Amino acid sequence: MAGRAVFVVPPVGFYVREERCQGSTTGLAIHTLRPPLDLAQDAAILEAAGWFAAIVDAPAEGLSQPAVLARIAALRPDLVCTQATVPTLDADVAFLAAVKADNPGATIVARGASFGLDPCGALRRFPALDVVVFHEADAAFVAFARQGSWNGVPGAAWRVDGVVASAPPVPAVLDDLPRPARHLLKNELYTRADTGTPQTTLVTARGCPFGCSYCLASLENGTTVRRRSPASIRAEVEDCHRRFGIRDFLFLADTFTLDGAWVETLCRELIATGLPIRWVCNSRVDCLDEARVAWMRRAGCWGVSLGIESGDDDTLRRIGKGTRVDQARAATALLRRHGILSLGYLMIGFPWEDEARIRRGFEGFLDIDPDLAEILFPYPFPGTRIREDMIAAGVLAPDATPGDACARPAAPTPTVSVERLVALRTELLRRFVLRPRFLARMARRIADPRVLAQGIRMGWRLARDRLGARG
């Protein structure tokens, strides 16, 4: 039976709230506000089943908790759903408890990586929640929309008359899902950091066959890679451009470039649209070659995020990355030859690192020489090996769920304090952006004076003010 559903991003700060990628964006060197695409996907599933749906993104819209609660109550919901992150779980559930107090007849649903290991335990711990959905929530919403009840839904845990039960998840068939309900979003709020033009995210594939110790991808999306058909991606791109005027895209996949033949077919489809689109994606450093990169450039790709993680081969081995420093160096050079910007991610603060090892990894990172850089800290997500490593090193209590993530350390190392890790990140980022090579390269690459000026201001704030204040 259809009803009224509200999907809400809680007013607890700016976070990336995707299943495989989550953490605070406050303090990041490079950040774009992403639309809550997973919630928009769930909203589209219920709309297709005859439900009324609405989306409220409190941080993006600058809404306080009282304002969000008032808007939700005015919509008279039968169901309220949010996507919780591990670091914000307690705050997210506290917000949902306030929603439930105002809307006692609504079913309160939470989805997210926090619930996959013990969904029934999560319901027992948080009485404000009626349902939790884990792993691929859209498949669970498809089953719920079909049967009109949460009882027995794969990938969900539910509460009926005080009894808690759950059913194992099933993977979603990506091409069978409706397009996310972008008409429920204020798309103008989600923009590229450099140009300020609207940008949306678009899911292209799920699943990761690799076992990096710090990553949620294989835990949340499985180890079997499932790709959407290039024709369906093209159709969604065309729809975004026609209905919403969106020309900029972030293509989401656990590893976008894993299959060269699929990349080429997709690029051919994008070229065939004739649309003036530009897009970015992610890649492992060992999943790029001349043919792939040439097709990507022709199809509008202007940037690739590379999970470099370290400039030290021993650290790469210990985190199970399966790549080498020389492969990362070759990848950045290849992208540069084709005129595609590389954003290199470096992680510091692994539990076996002392300051000398961190600095050695950074020197290797400078030798790899990506165009842009972001330095992050590992987070002990439930079920990951890095969590076990942190506990074994004595820097994390077995039951701890740190509130800091990504741009702030979740834990020290045995020899480097949290405060020193923060200072090191500041120093290393400052060194990266103030190199003459970096500044000259940016000046050559950015033809639009307005964009160049914005980039210089961003780099100056990064080097002097924002990160300097955090040091």
Neighbours of 435 (CB within 10 A): 13
The percentage of residues in the chain with a pLDDT greater than 90, rounded to a whole number, is: 82
Mean local confidence (pLDDT), 369-396 = 96
Distances (CA, A) of 203 to 12, 13, 18, 56, 61: 25, 24, 11, 21, 23
Mean local confidence (pLDDT), 206-231 = 94
The percentage of residues in the chain with a pLDDT greater than 70, rounded to a whole number, is: 94
Q: List Cβ<8 Å contacts ≥24 apart for 123-128.
A: 123/157, 123/158, 123/159, 123/164, 124/164, 126/93, 128/93, 128/96, 128/97, 128/100
- Residue 445: its pLDDT value, please? 66
The interaxial angle of helices 436-445 and 418-433, nearest 10 deg, is 60
Neighbours of 339 (CB within 10 A): 11
Report residue 194's pLDDT band, with 50, 70 and 90 as the boundaries: confident
What sections of 65-223 are H helices per DSSP?
Answer: 65-74, 89-102, 119-125, 137-147, 217-221
Q: Please say whether the beta carbons of 82 and 348 come within 8 A.
A: no
Residue with tokens 């309900």: 181
What phi-psi label fits residue 361: left (phi over 0), alpha (psi between -120 and 50 degrees) or beta?
A: alpha
Mean local confidence (pLDDT), 367-392 = 95
Distances (CA, A) of 188 to 13, 35, 58, 246: 19, 10, 15, 9
Report residue 466's pLDDT band, with 50, 70 and 90 as the boundaries: very low
> What 3-state DSSP class applies to 194?
coil
Summary count for the chain: helices (H), strands (E): 18, 17
Q: Which of 37, 112, 29 is nearest to 372 (CA)?
A: 29
Mean local confidence (pLDDT), 90-102 = 97
Token code pair at residue 418: 């949290």
What average pLDDT is seen over the chain?
92
> What 3-state DSSP class applies to 301?
strand
- Residue 452 pLDDT > 60: no
223-271 pLDDT, tens per residue? Answer: 999 999 999 999 999 999 999 999 999 999 999 999 999 999 999 999 9
- Residue 451 pLDDT > 60: no
> Of 217-221, 339-343, 420-424, where does mean pLDDT reach its minimum?
217-221
- Residue 138 pLDDT > 60: yes
Q: Which residues contact 149 (CB under 8 A, 6 or more apart)?
A: none
Report residue 161's pLDDT band, with 50, 70 and 90 as the boundaries: confident
The residue length of the chain stands at 471
Report residue 471's pLDDT band, with 50, 70 and 90 as the boundaries: very low
- Residue 165 pLDDT > 70: yes
Tell me phi and psi for residue 207, to 5 degrees.
105, 140
Q: Tell which wins on pLDDT, 218 or 22.
A: 218
Report residue 459's pLDDT band, with 50, 70 and 90 as the boundaries: low
- Residue 465: its pLDDT value, please? 42
Report residue 456's pLDDT band, with 50, 70 and 90 as the boundaries: low
| Max mean pLDDT range (135-139, 191-195, 301-305, 453-457) | 301-305
Report residue 470's pLDDT band, with 50, 70 and 90 as the boundaries: very low
- Residue 449 pLDDT > 80: no
Report residue 455's pLDDT band, with 50, 70 and 90 as the boundaries: low
- Residue 413: its pLDDT value, please? 97
Mean local confidence (pLDDT), 190-214 = 92
The structural domains of the chain, ordered by start, are 4-167 (3.40.50.280), 191-470 (3.80.30.20)
- Residue 468: its pLDDT value, please? 40
Mean local confidence (pLDDT), 375-388 = 95
Q: Which of 200, 197, 198, 199 is nearest to 181 (CA)?
A: 200
Residue 372 CA to residue 370 CA, distance in Å, equals 6
Q: Tell which wins on pLDDT, 407 or 129.
A: 129
- Residue 6 pLDDT > 50: yes
